[in-house]
Amino acid sequence: MDILKSLAHPEEIFNLFRFKMGGCRAVMTKLDYESMTESLRTCYVYLNQTSRSFAAVIQALDGELRHAVCIFYLVLRALDTVEDDMTIPLDKKVPMLNNFHTYLYQQEWCFTESQEKDRQVLEDFPTISLEFRNLAQEYRDVISDICHRMGVGMAEFLEKKVGSMKDWDQYCHYVAGLVGIGLSKLFSASQLEDPEVGQDTELANSMGLFLQKTNIIRDYLEDTQEGRSFWPQEAWSQFASRLEDLAHPEKLESALSCLNLLVTDALHHVPDVIAYLSRLRNQSVFNFCAIPQVMAIATLSTCYNNPMVFQGVVKIRKGQAVTLMMEATNMIAVQTIITQYSQEILQKVSLTDPSRSKTLHILAVIQEKSALTQSGFSTRTHHLSPMYLSAGVLLAALSWQYLSTTAAQAQGTGDMK
């Protein structure tokens, strides 16, 4: 039960309670599905089925940008599904990836041979491509261009491994940095953000790389068990003969050293993340960008020096995720969150870790970049007395089941069928 995992963190229980009571509406607005075409409604169904992280914040974007980003996500999800499907032979997959952007203008193109869990976005690609063609030209140009560049990059890495740290940056650029660049161009095209947001591709690329590297680090065990290898050989070959050997119990010390090296590398993108977020002016765009980033640094903090990365699934608590989602709505709050998690990592840096000096250096840079301008925001903890917190915990525990039931009933009544 989610509430039990947060018992040692009263502020998370408080926020879980707020979230159930309707606090989620601050960052997750409801859509008017009745005014949409049938094909657009179907696209939002696919969005909610395929996105674990981004569906809520996409649907909270303002105006026509919301639909553009929804279609952008689904197009890239379809492309990514082709890349991930290990049952498609290379001689068929490589041309598909290289030419995928052309399918956006082919009304009937679809692919029905995928075995991946998200295969519906390929099987019903005509619905997605129809809504793509309904977008304004400035949005279509961005989506098509990014889809083309990403497909070419994916095809390149199908036939070569992620060897050097430079290769790791390049691979992450193709699969995530380009997403950051494309989104930034969409933000500017919508005129919700200034032109410089879309023009500064270096910062936008870093936004994507930070998220992608975090996912690759966290998903070590799942990827290796399924025959995928995304950790750079330059890193893991310092500690093992084969990447999968890091999961062996006798290799734990070496595995943690490799893990910490990669976390340290990912942290180098955080100063760019801070710089990028500080430019944003539209609230819905800020929430969309900031929430995944703070969840990423929370995930990195959980992964750092954690043996569970090599033994199972590492996730942040639901109460922790809800707290981050509800609080990361302004730059000062984001700076505070980044400071907190960088301090958590700092406390876990071992005296004997090979990357210790590099880790300490980048953490110091992050602390400097995220230094708060107002001392009143030095902590994220809600300033509630122990008596009120205890009462809140008890109330939340007693009410949780009832709220879960009534919220589910209300959602079933009011949401899109």
Residues carrying an active site annotation: 171, 218, 228, 288
Q: What is the Cβ-side half-sphere exposure of residue 339, based on CA atoms within 13 angstroms? A: 17
* Cα–Cα nearest to 328, from 364, 384, 380: 380
Chain position carrying tokens 């947060």 = 6
Element (H, E) at 370: none
Assign 136 to helix, strand or coil: coil
Q: How far is CA 321 from the centre of its chain?
A: 12
* Cα–Cα nearest to 117, from 178, 176, 206, 52: 52
Q: Distance between CA atoms of 102 and 107, rounded to whole angstroms?
A: 10
- In the chain, DSSP finds a helix count (H) and a strand count (E) of 22, 0
Residue type at 51 in one-letter notation:
S
Assign 329 to helix, strand or coil: coil
Neighbours of 413 (CB within 10 A): 7
Element (H, E) at 303: helix 283-303
Q: Distance between CA atoms of 309 and 339, rounded to whole angstroms?
A: 23
Label residues 253-279 b or e (16+ Cβ within 10 Å = b): ebbbbbbbbbbbbbbbbbbbbbebbeb
